[in-house]
Structure 1
């Protein structure tokens, strides 16, 4: 199953990539206790960790929501033909993402809203595609929703020194600026209500303008949390940051706050990068949290 229904909203999972990210647990989530990966090894392998290489597996995917007659994309992956000299694993990809989107029943012109939970390399790539030698909006009829805090932070014109630094080189220029120049962006600040089912909230820490999408429809609840966590180990170890968090202390506080909110509201948690079944039910466990169960999406089993 690639589509589930939550209240009046359907959620479809569309893959761009699944496989190794080229980093060990110690490199990818340096704050995580080494024993945690061994403690949870029985279910981390193979979906989230390769048992032989000890390389972390990750997914690059888009969540397609259909709500109140509109088609909404949550994050747009890496994109094709993007030059990423300091992120070689994502440089000049040629994936069939648009084909996968079409198989999910979505043409680029059908998309009404694009949500970029933050403006990292692997969340904005398909905002644009290469038309000859020019980057143009992939979804010409969409409004692209971006937090102003992230737009300003990653805009090279502002010359802000970032933790990710050159790892995000070219990203603003080829995947953000073209849609802004086309008049398709809406930069929101304190929060943004999309419709009666969906609203955006700031969730700073990973980046200053990181955001979550909260779904409340009927009796169903969900949180689309972007990079609040890259691995489910961060549910069990909520103080463990990835190496990409711009403000580590704020990222820890935000992660704990939103995981607590998910438990209290019985919300399904949709991180951006989980392979396996993609989304998790979460419970409290002592002073931490734990995965209670998985969403019924078809499990990723092969690297692509």
Structure 2
């Protein structure tokens, strides 16, 4: 288990699932195979499966332990969720809670759950099924939601599509238990985490910055899905709600990470899922750490 240290703060990746995901032309409307060939050393074998011609995706949570708090950033897909349009996330039965326990995290010990956005693979473990009811998985936690994101999905309750049922089974039970806190724009959690508004992939997407005298980090959510978006920040995923805002948020996080020498903790990159961004003129490069 890889643990990153920032003074007295630790960051640990706990994986729910890992393996081949989207075909390139499905994930990226602007897909150009020449870009993959140019960056083979970056992508192959860890991030792209040549035999299946699919990107390799990791779905995980980041456990942040500070002096005072245990924080989960994004909560994966969850077990027993009805996701008929998303086979990877449909009716799962995975030992994610056991993996959290291996990282020293019990449900009762979690103080905050922070969702970068409310897509199926980022808020699923917010709740678990108990006696036929969805209840908060982490009974003592405050759940941090972007208000813009919450409002958007609240207005679409009952709609079909790739995110069907997510709001109903993974968000509303948290609100009903009075454990939800809405952040309107920017905000802070404790002494160490700053919330930045980074819309585009979704209406209310947020990035979360870790600040410590020993270094900084940024949790980028779905601003990027694969390392190729570092070298091609003009590429949006097919799931980006607002293409121009998505590009602007991506460029901001890359510029900020390069200037601050921050560790970027991604939501879906394979390998370690964490790395550093460097800049050469108007171009960016990625290095896993």
Length-normalised TM-score, structure 2: 0.97
The residue aligned with 1:168 is 163
Q: Map 1:28-67 onto structure 2 (within 5 A).
A: 28-67=27-66
Structure 1 residue 268 corresponds to structure 2 residue 263: yes
The residue aligned with 1:243 is 238
Q: State the alpha-carbon separation in 1 of the partners of residues 19 and 6 from structure 2.
A: 28
SS across alignment from 1:174: helix
Whose relative contact order is higher, 1 or 2, with alpha carbons under 8 Å and at least 6 apart?
A: 1
Q: State the alpha-carbon separation in 1 of the partners of residues 185 and 27 from structure 2.
A: 30
Q: How many residues align?
A: 289
Structure 1 residue 25 corresponds to structure 2 residue 24: yes
Structure 1 residue 252 corresponds to structure 2 residue 247: yes
Q: State the alpha-carbon separation in 1 of the partners of residues 54 and 283 from structure 2.
A: 25
**CA 1:169–1:249 in 2, change beyond 3 Å: closer, same or farther?**
same
Q: Map 1:129-278 onto structure 2 (within 5 A).
A: 129-155=128-154, 158-159=155-156, 166-278=161-273
The residue aligned with 2:68 is 69
Unaligned runs of 5+ in 2: none
SS across alignment from 2:48: coil
SS across alignment from 1:95: coil
Q: State the alpha-carbon separation in 1 of the partners of residues 46 and 152 from structure 2.
A: 33
Q: State the alpha-carbon separation in 2 of the partners of residues 80 and 214 from structure 1.
A: 28
SS across alignment from 1:167: coil
Q: Please, what is the CA RMSD of the aligned residues?
A: 1.5
**Superimposed CA distance per residue, residues 146-177 of structure 1 (whole angstroms, 9 cap, x where no aligned partner):** 0000001111xx24999xx6100000000000
Pairwise CA distance, 1:241: 0.8
**CA 1:55–1:281 in 2, change beyond 3 Å: closer, same or farther?**
same
SS across alignment from 1:269: strand
**Superimposed CA distance per residue, residues 109-138 of structure 1 (whole angstroms, 9 cap, x where no aligned partner):** 100000000000000000000002100000
**CA 1:211–1:183 in 2, change beyond 3 Å: closer, same or farther?**
same
Unaligned runs of 5+ in 1: 296-304
SS across alignment from 1:122: helix
The residue aligned with 2:288 is 294
The residue aligned with 2:12 is 12
SS across alignment from 2:121: coil
Contact 1:119–1:150 under 8 Å retained in 2: yes
The residue aligned with 1:101 is 100
Question: Runs ≥4 in structure 1, deviation > 4 angstroms?
Answer: none
Pairwise CA distance, 1:68: 2.4
Pairwise CA distance, 1:229: 0.3
Worse overlay, 280-289 or 200-209: 280-289
